[in-house]
Structure 1
Amino acid sequence: MQEIRCPKCNEVFQVDDSGYSQIVQQVRDKEFEKEAARRAEELEKAKNSELKIIEMEYEKKLESALSEKSDDISDKEKRITELEARLKSIESEKQLAVANAVRERENSFSEESRKAQKAISDKDIEIAELTAKLKQADNERAFAVDKANSENALALAKKDNEINELNSKLQNKDNEAELRCRAIEEKYAVELKNKDELIEQYKDFKARLSTKMVGETLEQHCLTQFNSLRMSAFPNAYFEKDNNAKSGSKGDFIFRESEDGIEFISIMFEMKNEMDTTATKHKNEDFFKELDKDRNEKGCEYAVLVSMLEADNEFYNAGIVDVSYKYPKMYVIRPQFFIPLISLLRNAARNSLEYKRELALAKAQEVDLTNFENNINEFKNAFSKNYQLASKKFNVAIEEIDKTIDHLQKTKDALLSSENNLRLANNKAEEQLSVKKLTKNAPSIREEFENIANRQSLPGAD
């Protein structure tokens, strides 16, 4: 059962499928009749406009021919006028000559009178010649007029024939247009039927797809497009799915290309699609922030959103949309611009490859110079450290030597002092070490020593 709303009372009533198809067929027949009537009216207007154009061209050519003939006739009339003026001038001269002759005749009948008669006869001859020329000019004018009329008649007959031929051609065109209209009607009916079937198939296909399958269908489409041109257009490129989701999110595909070990372009792709029956419709802007985050985490220079969202938005349907005003080097495209955008960005980046090579070489040279400076600094630091340690040890050794010298000096002084004391002791021993001095304060011991000495001094004592 199908529901139909009345446009006047807004009442909804139901009809079965057969009734609904009959209503649809009636609407289609009326639309087709309107279209056929419109096409017939357009063909009739085109036919009338072509006839008007032909008539205008014919009138223009006829006016041109008449103007040429009228110019010719005016030239003849001008010539006749000049001849008449000349004739009048000759007649006036003749009258003047006659008057002069009369006056001269009255005066005398001399030789001059004969000359006047001769002049008069000459003038008469000239007048006769001019009269003959005037008649000839009239005849030529009449002949030119007759000729122009005959030519105009022939031109009119020719134009009539052309008009008849054009009418026959227009009739043929009308027949051809009618045949084309019939063919268009048949073709329209077939195409309409095919489109209806295609719409039904598409709706059925969409109904069977899940949300995940809708997105994967767009990804598979882009992957198929790229793989079809990979070996011919991008033989050295890397184009694979982004499977690194350590940060909690990831893109769909990453495109990278390098030459001589120098990466000159990298693109993060995100594919977004949704079903027609999805209740919550997303916008392209909803995915810009996440795409920029994934691009920065994966170290890609460009970010591209391949989107089927907002299908009625003319801004995104215009072609390659640059949204760098929100996020740097970010683009939004429809699937048909997938390969053209890669080629565009790749060719633009390839132009800067030489600069990147020079930059890499400069960086390498700078790294070498930095390493050289680091080696020198390390050598300086090690040498300085060793020098400081050696200097410190040397100073310690000098200090120890100085201490040793001081100690030896003290030992020397002590030895010298001991020698002096020994000398003094020896002197004291030599001076004071005697029995007399030793027994000075010991009278008993002194007496004992005296007794011993006395006994030794006695004869016969051992």
Structure 2
Amino acid sequence: MNEIICPSCKKAFKVDEAGFADILKQVRDHEFEHELKNRLNLAEKEKESAVKLAEANIKNALQEQLSKKDNELIQLKAKSNSELAEKLAAKEREISELKYQNECTLAEKLAKKEAEISQMKSKIQNAEIDKKLTVGEAIRAIEKERDTLASDLKIKETEKQLLEKSIREQFSTQLMVKDETIKMKDDEIDRLKDFKQKLSTKMIGETLEQHCEAEFNKLRATAFQNAYFEKDNDARGGNKGDFIYREFDETGNEIISIMFEMKNENDETATKKRNEDFFAKLDKDRSDKKCEYAVLVSLLEADNEFYNTGIVDVSHRCKKMYVVRPQFFIPIITLLRNAAMNSMQYKAELSLIKNQNVDITNFEEKINTFKEGFARNYDLASRQFKTAIEEIDKTMDHLQKTKDSLLASVNNLRLANNKAEDLTIKKLTRGNPTMTEKFEGLSGKGNNLDL
């Protein structure tokens, strides 16, 4: 046992090893707790000062960044607003200038076109008057020629009667011979009638076609050098006419075109055909073959005085259609051809007027095209301005999101500070034997020094 003197009462007492160990343990625990409390207080003060310093630094940095971002936002807004205002003002000036120029140009061109249109109208009116005068003169000439032909026919009839009278007077002594001759002629006529009855209708018609073709070919080389007169062999529409007449000028322009139909009939046939029975087919053939006129050369209705007067106009039944006897085959071609030659000049003028109308139409189309292009470009410019404004709004939204993120980081720092304040040595050394041993070593050193 060891003897120990109490420092307070100066008394000596003995303790064994277990008691000494217990006293030592009490002293050591008291010193360790005192030292640990001092160290914890010191560490807590350092931690508070460090957190406050870090918080102050972060707040200052965030405040500076926020002020910079606010300044940048203000500058961007001012810059974008000024640039947009300048661009919009410039575009509005350009648009107003273009509108003014276009209105002036259009007004001038429209005035010119109106003057040209008025001139063309006056020319058309003059041409119509001249045409009416020419047509009237042609009609008067045809009527005069008709009257001349009628008077000549009467004169020929009178001459025929006088000639018959003179022949009868001259051959009165030969009546017996004449009777015999008449009897022979009657027999011959009967024989020919019997032969004619045996002929088909197609053969009779072809005989008339051959007659007309031969009459035309006699004058082809002299009067119809640029004319086409051939049989119609095109049966694509289901029907075809007999002959087509076309004539062209030196430049290849068509002067006149006629569809011919030749009709004859046997006198002894049971069913008699009429001329009007063939009008519809002839008009259809004329339209299908793109001919201007239609002419029916007919021997039908031989006793009908309406068709025996000469050239008969049946345009009241079918457009531009005539009915003639074979002796008027060449005259109808000549009359229609001369009328077409006189109207060639008016056709050329009408063609010129049509081309000018086409030019006016093209001018209007160009104006409409310009309007459409201008509207399209204006629409594109408007869309680009709208896109630029949308991009600026997106930039501002992005900066606002950045600002919100910085404010959120301040909140996270506050949460981190709260967690740091909640941190203690016991929580740090719990479950960590190494740190526990270090702190125990520190507390043992302090006790030995006191002892």
TM, length-normalised to structure 1 = 0.51
Residue pair 1:218, 1:273 contacting (<8 A) in 2 also = yes
Question: For structure 2, which runs of at least 5 residues remain unmatched after alignment?
Answer: 1-161
- The one-letter code sitting in structure 2 at the alignment partner of 1:408 is H
Once residues 211 and 224 of structure 1 are traced to their aligned partners in structure 2, the CA distance between those partners, rounded to angstroms, is 20
Q: Deviations over 1:186-216 (max 9, x none)?
A: 9957974785576357436524532111111
Write the mapping of 1:48-447 to structure 2, written as runs, cut at 5 A: 180-181=170-171, 192=182, 195-196=185-186, 199=189, 202-203=192-193, 205-259=195-249, 260-374=251-365, 377=368, 381=372, 388=379, 390=380, 394=384, 397-398=387-388, 401=391, 404-405=394-395, 407-424=397-414, 428=417, 433=420, 437-439=422-424, 445=430
Q: Distance in 1 between the 2:389 and 2:224 partners?
A: 77
Q: Cα–Cα, structure 1 residues 243 and 377, in superposed 2: closer, same or farther, change >3 Å?
A: farther
Are the equivalent residues in 1 in contact too, given 2:295–2:321 (CA < 8 A)? yes
* Kept in 2: contact 1:262–1:356 (CA 8 A): no
Do the aligned partners of residues 207 and 353 (structure 1) sit closer, same or farther apart at CA in structure 2, a change above 3 Å counting?
same
Query: Size of the alignment, in residue pairs?
Result: 282
1-structure distance, mates of 2:228, 2:246: 5
Correspondence for 1:61: none
CA gap of 1:198–1:372, structure 2 versus 1, over 3 A, is farther
2:307 and 2:225 map into 1 onto residues whose CA distance is 31
Aligned counterparts of 1:322 and 1:366: Cα–Cα separation in 2: 35
State which drifts further: 363-372 or 273-282: 363-372
446-455 vs 416-425, which moves further: 446-455
* 2: CA distance, partners of 1:322 / 1:215: 22
CA distance in 2, matches of 1:441, 1:459: 20
Question: SS of the counterpart of 1:331?
Answer: strand
Cα deviation digits, residues 73-105 of structure 1 (max 9, x gap): xxxxxxxxxxxxxxxxxxxxxxxxxxxxxxxxx
| Offset at residue 244 of structure 1 (A) | 3.1
Letter in 2 for 1:352: S
1:265: Cα distance to partner?
Answer: 2.3
- Backbone CA RMSD of aligned residues: 4.2
Q: Which amino acid aligns with 1:455?
A: G
Q: Which moved more, 1:186-195 or 1:223-232?
A: 186-195
Asked if residue 456 in structure 1 is aligned to residue 447 in structure 2, the reply is no
Greater radius of gyration (CA): 1
Greater relative CO, 1 or 2 (CA 8 Å, sep 6+): 2
The answer to whether the 8 Å contact 1:439/1:445 transfers is no
* Equivalent residue, structure 2, for 1:66: none
C-alpha spacing 1:353/1:279, structure 2 compared with 1 (3 Å): same
Instruction: For residue 359 of structure 1, report the CA deviation from its aligned partner.
Output: 0.9
Query: Quick one: which amino acid aligns to residue 301 of structure 2?
Result: E
Question: How many angstroms apart in 1 are the aligned matches of 2:238 and 2:289?
Answer: 13
Distance 1:410 1:226, change over 3 A: farther
One-letter amino acid matched to 1:456: L
TM-aligned CA deviation for residue 423 of structure 1: 4.9
When structure 1 is superposed on structure 2, of 443-452 and 330-339 the one drifting more is 443-452
In structure 2, relative to structure 1, the CA distance for the partners of 1:228 and 1:443 (3 Å cut) is: closer
Query: Where has structure 1 moved over 6 Å in runs of 4 or more?
Result: 446-451
Alpha carbons 2:429, 2:436 under 8 Å: kept: no
C-alpha deviation, 1:322, in angstroms: 1.6
Structure 1: state its 5+ residue gaps.
1-38, 44-175
Offset at 1:453? 4.2
Shift of 1:325: 2.7
Distance across 1 between alignment mates of 2:178 and 2:347: 57
Deviations 1:226-262 (A, max 9, x none): 2221232122223222333333323222222233344
* Other structure's SS at 2:171 match: helix
Aligned to 1:91: none
- Percent of paired sites with the same residue: 51
Residues 225 and 339 in structure 1, CA contact (< 8 A), matched pair in contact too: yes
Deviations 1:336-356 (A, max 9, x none): 101101101111121111000
Residue in 2 that maps onto 1:120: none
Do 1:439 and 1:446's aligned partners in 2 also have CA atoms closer than 8 Å?
Answer: no
What amino acid is the match of 1:433? A
Change (3 A) 1:381 1:241: farther
Distance 1:306 1:443, change over 3 A: closer
CA gap of 1:455–1:187, structure 2 versus 1, over 3 A, is farther
